[in-house]
Amino acid sequence: MSDHVNRHAKVKYLLISVINVMYAEGKGRSKHQVLQENYEKYKRRETHLIHSTSTFITYKAVVSKFADYLKKEHNLKYEKDFMKLSKEELFNLVDKYFEYQRDVEKLSQSSLEKHISVLRKVLPPVRPEAREFFTPDNRVKWRDGVAKLEGDRYNRPDKIVENLKTIGEVYEAIAQLQRLTDARIGDVNRMQIDEVNQRVYFPRSKGGRDRFVYYDHFKEDFEKVKHYKEVLDKALEERSFSDIRKNEYYRALNRACEKAKEPYHGSHPFRYEAVQRRYEVISQLTQEEQENYYRRILEDRGKSEEQIEEALNSVRERDEVAVAIISEELGHSRLRISREYLKLRGR
């Protein structure tokens, strides 16, 4: 960053300028490759870049929230004043920010961890001493927010979605699409419906991987997906999904949780719920049905017969065909992560 300080520039735009650089350098580059390069050079699997649009949007939202907090609570809005802060003063502001988000905003542990990760990357380019703030002890203290829910899903999701419907039809549609497709929030607007093959397609999901979710055994859900996608598509004719998500949806979901007397944990609990509900059905299919299901997924991914047989033999031995199906539909292909979503013990 330049040593020149613009007396009239605001903190928000200073931090966003850092994010713009991180995104410009990272967009189009393989995150996996950068992680590998950094590991070979520094023995750390980290990347200082932003590789996806969804991450870019998240980073902008977090630093905007941080800057708004500085302005509202400490009357600090200009770059020149931010740069004059001593190391101790800066640490105290960061410390109080996380205390405020935890105790006043009631952010969940996962949301606090996201804020920690963003500020840990964005602050050091303009205030290098901030690197020292993000120690393991401080991170544990700052992320000690509202305890996670059992199974990482909402206890009363139907009530929350019912409340969302009263706030706005499109907000209900977004939540329902997550519940029906186990979609990440950033993938909801990109889903494509394949009626011929009874599946939902997510092009270039996280990590650049295409993924499919199948509905041969979920006929009623498939009809609901088509309905809620029509509702969302109609809303997208008037405004972008980014605007709805960033400026409206999270606020609406927070209100819906409050009315349902549930702690707000963002949208990801709907993904946990979807995965767990689908697993309940898939795990009750016969062994032959499960293996045919898994084989179809691998064939659609272009795997050779040899690779398919090897994968089938591997999950057969551990009696985890249903878990493997969930892994593929999640877009992870790692059983350990799927077990975490399902709350199953590793085997």
**251 and 135 in a common domain:** no
**81 and 40 in a common domain:** yes
Final residue before a domain boundary, out of 267, 292, 307: 267
**113 and 200 in a common domain:** no
pLDDT at 337: 60
Residue 149 is assigned to a structural domain of this protein: no
Answer with the residue of higher pLDDT: 199 or 35: 199
Residue 165 is assigned to a structural domain of this protein: yes
Q: Can you tell me the mean pLDDT for 300-324?
A: 89
Res 42 pLDDT > 70: no
Instruction: Confirm whether pTM is higher than 0.75.
Output: no
Per residue in 252-268, pLDDT tens? 998 999 999 888 888 88
d(CA 252, CA 172): 10
Residue 272 is assigned to a structural domain of this protein: no
H helices within 75-208, ranges in order? Answer: 79-84, 87-103, 109-122, 136-142, 157-167, 169-181
Q: Which of 18-32, 168-182, 208-222, 330-344 has the highest mean pLDDT?
A: 168-182
Res 203 pLDDT > 50: yes
Using only the alpha carbons of the chain, give its radius of gyration. Answer: 22
pLDDT at 264: 82
Residue 294 is assigned to a structural domain of this protein: yes
CB 156 within 8 A of CB 260: yes
pLDDT at 73: 86
What confidence tier does 2 reach under pLDDT thresholds 50, 70, 90? very low
Per residue in 131-178, pLDDT tens? 899 888 788 788 775 455 445 788 899 999 999 999 999 999 999 999
What confidence tier does 41 reach under pLDDT thresholds 50, 70, 90? low
Q: Can you tell me the mean pLDDT for 118-134?
A: 92
Residue 1 is assigned to a structural domain of this protein: no
> For the CA atoms of 254, 213, 238, 16, what is the dihedral angle to 10 degrees?
60
Identify the domain containing residue 342 by its residue range: 283-347
Which tokens belong to 61? 């939202």
d(CA 86, CA 297): 56
**138 and 16 in a common domain:** yes
Per residue in 59-107, pLDDT tens? 899 999 999 999 988 889 889 899 999 999 999 899 989 988 887 887 8
> For the CA atoms of 33, 201, 278, 171, what is the dihedral angle to 10 degrees?
100
Number of domains in the chain: 3
**42 and 127 in a common domain:** yes
How far lies 172's CA from each of 191, 224, 227, 244, 266, in Å?
A: 17, 12, 12, 12, 14
d(CA 179, CA 44): 36
Residue 151 is assigned to a structural domain of this protein: no
Final residue before a domain boundary, out of 89, 112, 142: 142
Res 21 pLDDT > 80: yes
**287 and 243 in a common domain:** no
